[in-house]
Structure 1
């Protein structure tokens, strides 16, 4: 907020100086720093929520600042009086979001390439067949494991359980879980090596 007031003073807004008496509240000039401060206090939260609800959450504060900077710039022109500053701020906010969306679309379109220019390749059917064969061999090897060994292996590799948790659930020591894991890995390794 101080930044806006300082910006107004820096750009030469001399309509209200620090030593000037304050006008009655019904005759405040919209472009004055006092009116802008009051407007900022009353409308910045609303604008912040508006920007945050329209996918601009991380930039909401910057967009609020930009909205008020544009209002201050428009208020500098004495021939142009802003009758409804809240409505003006709403329009500025909407335009800022539109400009942002337009820029994002243009960046996205600039990154696209034509299908003719892209080096598209067909799926490798041999690799797909080899992967399907490997999965079938792994499935068969898992089915050949003893039920407890298979359960321990799947609990660790699929469910992500630690050896300590598996040991507690199975009533084994950690060394016992390690033994079952070694057995399962060895059998699965043999199944993958055999063609």
Structure 2
């Protein structure tokens, strides 16, 4: 199925809001699931996290990060971190919705916010935190051929999880769960 950016916007904007209460959460974080149009095709913006970071280094993720005491809300966190990592001004992002948080194996609770970034935005990477930015066609995440099942063994614990393949990249963990949740919302609405 070929999704348009308008179909995704309508589906995600009609998604009911979630609880953004971070009280009692040890490690709250938030990310932006940003859509845009590149070469006439709707895309999702993802980053490769810096290899020297202490958490999730070298992994494919969404722009965002940990909440700070001064953040007014998880959405503020997501927009602030996206600005810090990629130089995208919050006024260049049209937030469509917040989605249910996902938990990471490292103890973070991550609130994702979907929206659209102005097309042809110029990214200014904060190079310590972001090694690469890529705009992945939405069709990759809708196409079942891109889905993979991977097995992760960490500290003697074995977990089987969904992942997505795009070119030479594997997107897994919380990022893959956020992708799955996002496109479940969209596909159930169109």
| TM-score w.r.t. length of structure 2 | 0.21
| TM-score w.r.t. length of structure 1 | 0.21
Which structure's relative contact order is higher, taking Cα pairs within 8 Å and 6+ residues apart? Answer: 2
Q: Which has the higher helix share?
A: 1
